[in-house]
């Protein structure tokens, strides 16, 4: 009996080992770093508001005026007549223009697009109710046509907080900058133009999902590479867990320096990651928007010995930026809150680029010097 049992155990051993080998190979494939995609032609462009606001606005309008096939915009806020005019010019040329917006700002989408269609140029526009009735046509529960442009809205409890535009499926404009005149003229903001078809098609898929009613989006990360830049874009809330994990991993990898410029900072796991970085000898500095100090976790940072300053802009310091070791940049629409990864529609970019990191580092340090210590 004992001999038979031993024979059965020995006979079953190769199958057991085979399963272990297959499991090991699967884990190796899943956990090993993915190879970077081949670099596409073109270079990233970055703009910092308000100093570069006029140049950034001109570049954005030039993108709209150069579009040949499609413009797909997911915009949290929309209060800028020049941008509205650019979208209408594209539509008049036969470009397919579609917008997805936050329902809290539905009236602004209507007012600005209709005002632009009436030829108004003065901010803020004044639109007769009769014109709104004539030029706003409901098409479904969450969608309407405004001055001939299809606009759908997010009606969820969370914010549709994106600020991105996909141009012809070939380039993406994204960052912290809302489509409002004051974002370009007054606030501290950052916008990126990334001429990557790979990235643009990923953003276009996310837009398409939202536009057709998948309110949480697809949440599929998109890896891309341009000249001097490698990166991954993440989308919340469907892919929010991956976005947050990438953010925390970037902080955990830092060895020398982390600079933070944050409109708001309430994600306790991120704060704890910054504290751990500080304890292992990384230089950590955090700049916060002053009006959100009561909501942010600055007291925890200060108790940990991390220098914290409030910004000096009388309007809004709206960045959501980390610069790490002069090499990595984290940016996007994604505020450093639990809602950003779990509830809101957001996009987060993790970029490896010494040249971009240098630009962002200079911006954060400039604002740091203008800020006040807590």
Supply the pLDDT for residue 4: 43
- Smallest Cα–Cα separation from 72: which of 16, 17, 152? 152
Show the tokens assigned to 80.
Answer: 């800028």
Label residue 35 by pLDDT band (50, 70, 90).
Answer: low
Same domain, yes or no: 158 and 232: no
- Whether 197 is covered by a domain: the verdict is no
- 318 φ/ψ angles, rounded to the nearest 5 degrees: -105, 10
- Whether 281 is covered by a domain: the verdict is yes
- Whether 7 is covered by a domain: the verdict is no
Same domain, yes or no: 172 and 304: no
- Whether 9 is covered by a domain: the verdict is no
Supply the pLDDT for residue 27: 55
Same domain, yes or no: 175 and 106: yes
Same domain, yes or no: 84 and 134: yes
Question: Does 9 score more than 50 pLDDT?
Answer: no
Same domain, yes or no: 137 and 264: no
Mean pLDDT, range 337-366, rounded to an integer: 98
- Whether 38 is covered by a domain: the verdict is no
Supply the pLDDT for residue 14: 62
Active site residues: 318, 320, 325
Q: Where is the domain boundary, 165, 186, 207?
A: 186
- Whether 182 is covered by a domain: the verdict is yes
* 132-152 pLDDT, tens digit each: 999 999 999 999 999 999 999
As a whole number of angstroms, the distance between CA 314 and CA 196 comes to: 36
Same domain, yes or no: 369 and 223: yes
> Do the Cβ atoms of 16 and 328 come closer than 8 Å?
no
> Do the Cβ atoms of 218 and 230 come closer than 8 Å?
no
- Whether 320 is covered by a domain: the verdict is yes
Same domain, yes or no: 99 and 174: yes
Question: Does 69 score more than 60 pLDDT?
Answer: yes
Question: Does 5 score more than 70 pLDDT?
Answer: no
Mean pLDDT, range 60-87, rounded to an integer: 99
Mean pLDDT (the chain, rounded): 94
Same domain, yes or no: 182 and 254: no
Supply the pLDDT for residue 39: 86
Same domain, yes or no: 223 and 140: no
Supply the pLDDT for residue 3: 46
Residue 239 lies in domain: 219-373
Q: Where is the domain boundary, 168, 186, 204?
A: 186
As a whole number of angstroms, the distance between CA 357 and CA 180 comes to: 26
DSSP 190-233: EEEEE--HHHHHHHHHHHHHHHTT-TT-----EEEEETTEEEEE
Mean pLDDT, range 353-372, rounded to an integer: 99
> Do the Cβ atoms of 159 and 344 come closer than 8 Å?
yes
User: The CATH number of the domain where 73 resides is what?
Assistant: 3.30.870.10
Of the given ranges (11-20, 201-210, 226-235), which has the lowest mean pLDDT?
11-20
Supply the pLDDT for residue 31: 44
- Whether 18 is covered by a domain: the verdict is no
Same domain, yes or no: 139 and 224: no
Question: Does 220 score more than 50 pLDDT?
Answer: yes
Mean pLDDT, range 119-123, rounded to an integer: 96
Supply the pLDDT for residue 294: 84
Label residue 38 by pLDDT band (50, 70, 90).
Answer: confident
The whole-model pTM stands at: 0.90
- Smallest Cα–Cα separation from 328: which of 251, 275, 266? 251
Supply the pLDDT for residue 34: 53
332: which strand partners? Answer: 348
The total number of structural domains that make up the chain: 2
Mean pLDDT, range 327-340, rounded to an integer: 98
Same domain, yes or no: 84 and 182: yes
B/e letters for 265-278, b = 16+ CB within 10 Å, e = fewer, are bbbeebbebbbebb
Supply the pLDDT for residue 55: 99
Same domain, yes or no: 151 and 236: no
Label residue 6 by pLDDT band (50, 70, 90).
Answer: very low
Q: How far apart are the first and last CA of the chain?
A: 78
Question: Does 12 score more than 60 pLDDT?
Answer: no
B/e letters for 160-188, b = 16+ CB within 10 Å, e = fewer, are bbbbbbbbbebbbbbbbbbbbbbbbebbb
């Amino acid at each position: 009996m004992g001999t038979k049992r031993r024979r059965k155990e020995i006979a079953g051993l190769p199958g057991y080992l085979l399963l272990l080998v297959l499991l090991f190979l699967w884990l190796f494939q899943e956990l090993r770093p993915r190879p970077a995609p081949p670099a596409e032609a073109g270079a990233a462009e970055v703009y910092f508001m308000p100093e570069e606001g006029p140049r950034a606005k001109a570049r954005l309008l030039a993108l709209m005026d150069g579009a040949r096939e499609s413009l797909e915009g997911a915009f949290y806020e929309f209060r800028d007549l020049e941008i509205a005019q650019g979208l209408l010019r594209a539509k008049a040329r036969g470009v397919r223009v579609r917008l997805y917006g936050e329902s809290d700002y539905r009236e602004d989408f209507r007012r600005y697009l209709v005002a632009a269609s009436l030829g108004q140029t003065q901010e803020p526009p004044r639109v007769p109710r009769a014109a709104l009735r004539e030029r706003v046509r409901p098409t479904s529960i969450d969608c309407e046509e405004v001055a001939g442009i299809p606009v759908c809205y997010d009606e969820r409890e969370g914010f549709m907080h994106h600020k991105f535009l996909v141009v012809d499926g070939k380039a993406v404009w994204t960052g912290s900058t809302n489509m409002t005149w004051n974002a370009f003229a007054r606030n501290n903001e950052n916008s990126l133009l990334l001429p990557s078809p790979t990235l643009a098609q990923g953003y276009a898929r996310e837009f398409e999902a939202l536009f057709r009613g998948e309110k949480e989006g697809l949440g599929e990360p998109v890896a891309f590479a341009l000249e001097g830049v490698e990166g991954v874009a993440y989308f919340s809330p469907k892919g929010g867990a991956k976005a947050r994990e990438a953010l925390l991993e970037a902080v955990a990898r830092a060895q020398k320096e982390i600079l933070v410029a944050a409109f708001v900072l309430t994600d306790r796991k991120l704060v704890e990651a910054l504290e751990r970085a500080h304890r292992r000898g990384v230089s950590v500095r955090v700049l916060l928007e002053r009006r959100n100090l009561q909501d942010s976790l600055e007291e925890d940072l200060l108790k940990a010995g991390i220098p914290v300053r409030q910004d000096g802009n009388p309007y809004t310091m709206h960045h959501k930026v980390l610069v790490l070791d002069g090499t990595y940049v984290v940016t996007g629409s994604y505020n450093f809150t639990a809602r950003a990864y779990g509830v809101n529609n957001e996009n987060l970019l993790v970029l490896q680029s010494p040249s971009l990191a240098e630009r962002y580092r200079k911006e954060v340090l400039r604002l740091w010097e203008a800020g006040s210590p807590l």
